Amino acid sequence: MNYTVKSNILGFDNLESMTFSKIDDLFSSIKSDDISFTLINPYLLREYSFDLSIAIRTLLQIEEDSEILVYNIAIIQNPLDESKINFLAPLVFNQSNKTMAQVVLNASDNPSFGIAEPLKNYRPKDKVA
């Protein structure tokens, strides 16, 4: 699915659209012509909730009945359980209108979320390939 990027992804200011592909329940990816990110579904790993600002809700035109997906960017390592997850800058996808944005959360408001948390902290070793 193609999504219009409505706010910059950190460090990649010129991205206008990304193609989202689900790999499995845990992993997905987004790609453009120049860049690719591996995404991880945080809800399969931990309790994960945060407040979406009115600005992001407006930007993505999120309504009460909008279908929303939330993923985090993962930096894949070998072995896989050493991969790092950024829980402080989730990507929010509005499936209803095919828009997306990265949300940068305030670390002091979300003290249990880190910027480079190891996957092994959340997945039993027998569950990670």
The CATH number that applies at residue 97 is: 2.30.290.10
Mean pLDDT (the chain) is 93
Share of the chain above pLDDT 70, in %: 95
Cα 98 to chain centroid, rounded = 15
Give CA 115 to chain center in angstroms.
12
Domain count, the chain: 1
* Per-residue pLDDT at 123 exceeds 80: no
**Domain enclosing residue 31, as ranges:** 2-123
Q: How far apart are CA 39 and CA 30, in angstroms?
A: 7
Q: What is the rounded radius of gyration, in angstroms, for the C-alpha atoms of the chain?
A: 14
pLDDT digits (tens, 9 = 90+) for 18-76: 999 999 999 999 999 989 999 999 999 999 999 999 999 999 999 999 999 999 999 99
Q: Residue 26 falls within a domain, yes or no?
A: yes
Domain contains 128: no
Please tell me the distance from the alpha carbon of residue 29 to that of residue 86, in angstroms, as a whole number: 15
Give the tokens for residue 63: 């309504």
Q: What is the pLDDT of residues 64-96, one digit of tens each?
A: 999 999 999 999 999 998 999 999 999 999 999
How far apart are alpha carbons 47 and 65 in whole angstroms? 23
Q: Does a structural domain hold residue 23?
A: yes
Look at phi and psi of residue 98 and say left if phi exceeds 0, alpha if psi is from -120 to 50, else beta. left
In a domain, 32, yes or no: yes
Q: Evaluate if residue 124 carries a pLDDT over 60.
A: no
In a domain, 129, yes or no: no
